[in-house]
Amino acid sequence: MQQLYEELGIDKEVAAFGESILAGLKERFEAIDKNAEYNQLKVIKAMQACHVSEACLLGTTGYGYNDVGRDTLEAVYAKLFGTEDALVRPQITCGTHALALALMSNLRPGDELLSPVGKPYDTLEEVIGIRESKGSLKEYGIRYRQVDLLSNGEFDYEGIRAAVNDSTKLVTIQRSKGYQTRKTLSVERIGKLIAFIKNIKPDIICMVDNCYGEFVEVIEPTDVGADMIVGSLIKNPGGGLAPIGGYIAGKKECVENAAFRLTSPGLGKEVGASLGILKDFYQGLFLAPTVTAAALKGAVFAAACLEKLGFSVVPDSTESRHDIIQAVTFGSKEGVIAFCRGIQAAAPVDSFVVPEPWDMPGYDAPVIMAAGAFVSGSSIELSADGPIKPPYAVYFQGGLTFPHAKFGILKALQSLKNAGVIPSFEK
């Protein structure tokens, strides 16, 4: 093993450091495996209950009428998440699209949207119209209100009570911290927030942006009162195999509204050929609990290594986890770049390219990204990125297998060592 690691560019000191950290994570990993076992059974139970058959793995073309595989997959998602219905489609191009679809189809001119958990994910700013954009909710006369979290990270219950009014139609709750410093919300906390909101106004639609959260816990937001959960298939629930897609699971009416908007009024869920993609959707969902577990172990291992080396990590290696994202603050440009280059060098695809920071559209500082993925942009695969600005933090996620996530982190540590960011691994 050591020889192979050396051939792959990991020196003895880095490898030994990694092993010493890993030795302390046994209990943590056992708990993650138990969680995956539970969720694996949940997925199998849903597939069996919905009579997934060999015919479901095939696809349709053209209009896609009577696509039994597509309809059964949607029944599986609904069963799994305990909802009345679900929309799971390759025609939903990404997570942002799924969220935009859920919002635009369930809100009408004059309605108000409320985020009680602070600023939503960057790309939603344009969907909502916080940043001016063509086709935003704002352009259609849908207003937006936001209540920030308190400085201690708690919900601002009084602020939320004051913000809810006759026009408040839908509440959007983002589970993952995304690229912010706040903590990710546990499903339990989301449940408490939903109960509080429904108590003020029972007919508000509570939607949860579930991106990066699926299968991290044994319950999902729909188990604690969410009317709708929304996510991307090139994150957790696609298990690394789905090459595209998004889902919306929830109340029949919410899902129906989304279907009529995705295709056309009158057509809804009846059209939308699945082409040849269904086998990957089913198999990806089947693998998703263990793939998510691999990513979680990678995140915990990264946190443990980097906190031992004196860097600030969110969450830390002992905290309970509610999504697969790991944030590490390096405090220097060199740290961010070296970490990302190490992750890239561990990839199965494009390992030989060297990532550089660049001025990406929509960002106010250069961003460096590491991704050598089978599915372009997939962040359930091992990936990292960070803006080149204070506090010089990197966001790291994914790994389809734990051995790959581990190798990626060792490569990143080696790269930090070679760049002089980590002078020594002596403890």
Binding footprint of ligand PLP on the chain (CB under 6 A):
94-96, 99, 121, 123, 174, 176, 178, 209, 211-212, 232
End-to-end CA distance of the chain: 23
Q: How many other CB atoms are there within 10 angstroms of residue 149's CB atom?
A: 18
Least distance in angstroms from the C-beta of 69 to ligand PLP? 23
Instruction: Report in angstroms the alpha-carbon separations of 64 from 233, 344, 371, 373.
Output: 20, 39, 34, 30
The DSSP line for 225-289 is: T-SEEEEETTSGGGTTT--S-EEEEE-HHHHHHHHHHHS-TTTGGG----TT-HHHHHHHHHHHH
Q: How far apart are CA 341 and CA 259, in angstroms?
A: 41
Give the ranges where 90-212 is alpha helix by DSSP (H): 95-106, 122-128, 157-163, 187-200
Least distance in angstroms from the C-beta of 145 to ligand PLP? 19
Q: How far apart are CA 281 and CA 287, in angstroms?
A: 10
Least distance in angstroms from the C-beta of 427 to ligand PLP? 35
Least distance in angstroms from the C-beta of 20 to ligand PLP? 32
Least distance in angstroms from the C-beta of 211 to ligand PLP? 3
Least distance in angstroms from the C-beta of 97 to ligand PLP? 7
By beta-carbon proximity to ligand PLP, the closer residue of 212 and 330 is 212
Q: How far apart are CA 19 and CA 187, in angstroms?
A: 33
By beta-carbon proximity to ligand PLP, the closer residue of 73 and 208 is 208
By beta-carbon proximity to ligand PLP, the closer residue of 10 and 325 is 325
By beta-carbon proximity to ligand PLP, the closer residue of 75 and 117 is 117
Nearest C-alpha neighbor of 365 from the set 339, 338, 326, 392: 392
By beta-carbon proximity to ligand PLP, the closer residue of 395 and 407 is 395
Residue in the structure block whose two tokens are 């997570």: 95
Give me the residue whose beta carbon is nearest to ligand PLP: 95
172: tokens are 């959007």
Q: How far apart are CA 313 and CA 322, in angstroms?
A: 15
Least distance in angstroms from the C-beta of 414 to ligand PLP? 28
Q: How many other CB atoms are there within 10 angstroms of residue 96's CB atom?
A: 19
Phi and psi at residue 277, in whole multiples of 5°?
Answer: -95, -10
By beta-carbon proximity to ligand PLP, the closer residue of 120 and 268 is 120
By beta-carbon proximity to ligand PLP, the closer residue of 50 and 114 is 114
By beta-carbon proximity to ligand PLP, the closer residue of 246 and 268 is 246
Least distance in angstroms from the C-beta of 397 to ligand PLP? 9
Nearest C-alpha neighbor of 415 from the set 359, 339, 364: 339
Q: How many other CB atoms are there within 10 angstroms of residue 53's CB atom?
A: 11
By beta-carbon proximity to ligand PLP, the closer residue of 97 and 404 is 97
Least distance in angstroms from the C-beta of 295 to ligand PLP? 13
